[in-house]
Amino acid sequence: MKIIKCLVCLIFFVAAFAAGCFIFAPRDEAGKLALAYARLAASRQGYYATYEDFSGSGIFNPSYRITGLDVEGPAAKITFSDARATIYPLSSLVSRSARMRLQFGETGVLLMTNNSLSLKSGTMDISAKENLVSVTNALVEGDVRLSGDIAFDIGARAITESTATIRVPPLVDAALGARAAAPYVEQISRGEWRIKKNAR
């Protein structure tokens, strides 16, 4: 269950960042305001973020790079060595939702059980409209492999749609087999799980 909370934490933080970038004009200073907005929104949900450096580039499709980003919550601490968010203002206006693409490099996940996981890379397309956050074309590689699409209702704190599957190491596999994780995942095969829709 903790690994599911970690994934939801990641999705929530990025969604808050995307929404902030949609609200504010896509420029360097506005990007910093959007990041501050995302950190505030995340803190209200019990997740606290710090970072080492922030920079922006581009005009039509601005890209924001964050290094040394730590996101810490009740279940885990996630450390991104390098993360980049590319915003698509025109597509956002046409669809009336905030749209962006997230890419990140080496990332560490420290669970509160003092177990650690390492992610090599990740990419995903994200759209956010009101309380609904949709993640499509997700691909995360490393100790945990995530692929597929997932939609999350922030207000209800529920997964509303999901085709996402995850492959996990034996330690996490055993944890996902516990009764507490049953509302969130269903097993496909040993070490491979499907994230359920309508999970809360």
User: Residue 166's pLDDT is what?
Assistant: 92
What's residue 176's pLDDT? 83
What pLDDT, on a 0 to 100 scale, did the predictor assign at position 189?
Answer: 92
Give the model confidence (pLDDT) of 19-57 as tens digits: 555 544 445 666 777 778 778 877 877 888 888 988 878
Residue 123 pLDDT > 90: yes
- Contact, 57 vs 87, CB < 8 A? no
Q: What is the pTM of this model?
A: 0.76
At 20 the pLDDT is: 57
pLDDT in tens, 36-46: 877 887 787 78
Tell me the percentage of the chain whose pLDDT exceeds 70.
84
159 with 196: CB under 8 angstroms?
yes
* Interatomic CA distance for residues 112 and 75, integer angstroms: 6
